[in-house]
Amino acid sequence: PFSEGSTPSYLKGEYPGDYGWDTAGFSADPEKFAAYRELELIHARWAMLGALGCITPELLSKFGGVEFGESVWWKAGAQIFADDGLNYLGNPSLIHAQSIIYTLAAQVVLMGLAEAYRVNGGPLGEGLDKLYPGEAFDPLGLADDPDTFAELKVKEIKNGRLAMFAMFGFFVQALVTQKGPVENLLDHLSDPSNINGFTDAATAYCTNDPLGSALC
């Protein structure tokens, strides 16, 4: 509805999730359009993984009986500085991280190798699409049917965009409520009229009021 009758000529629908809306003109240059789409898709995939990673420990802790040192996503990482280090999923036999330096180095190396592989190819395939490689990276054959593949591309970018907004929401919630997203949801469901975004924002402002609570 926002672009009816005024779709820019350079938006031709060749990319999944392209609905002809580009008020800022970011997609006018084809090369920049391709680069922006690559960045958006990579960030969308990381956001989906990140959102899942933010809520899973809290869900397991509250409803699965799994014991964590700290299950809230924005506090969990700090456990690596504790004497006992950080245990993945609360289990020391999985990953027992005790050094932030070694952990950071391992992440840089692994992510660098993964990105180099994605861009330049490797033993599992050469000359593959950088964003949708398929072949060995699609063991379930989800992309074998072209129509299904096109539909999955649209679903991926839509869910990825939603996940990016969700991650932003998690950040804001953490700053305002000092709680995790699952606990925030349970609090809201227990008393929707008095525990919501507006009341939390007002409470957070009054707690940190720069005018000395003169407005609260």
For the record, the structure tokens of 208 come out as: 């940190």
Nearest to 57 by CA among 43, 70, 42, 40: 70
| pLDDT tens readout for residues 24-60 | 788 888 899 889 999 999 999 999 999 999 999 899 8
Q: For residue 174, how many C-alpha atoms fall within 13 Å in the half-sphere facing its CB? A: 14
**pLDDT, position 17:** 84
What's residue 89's pLDDT? 67
Q: What is the pTM of this model?
A: 0.79
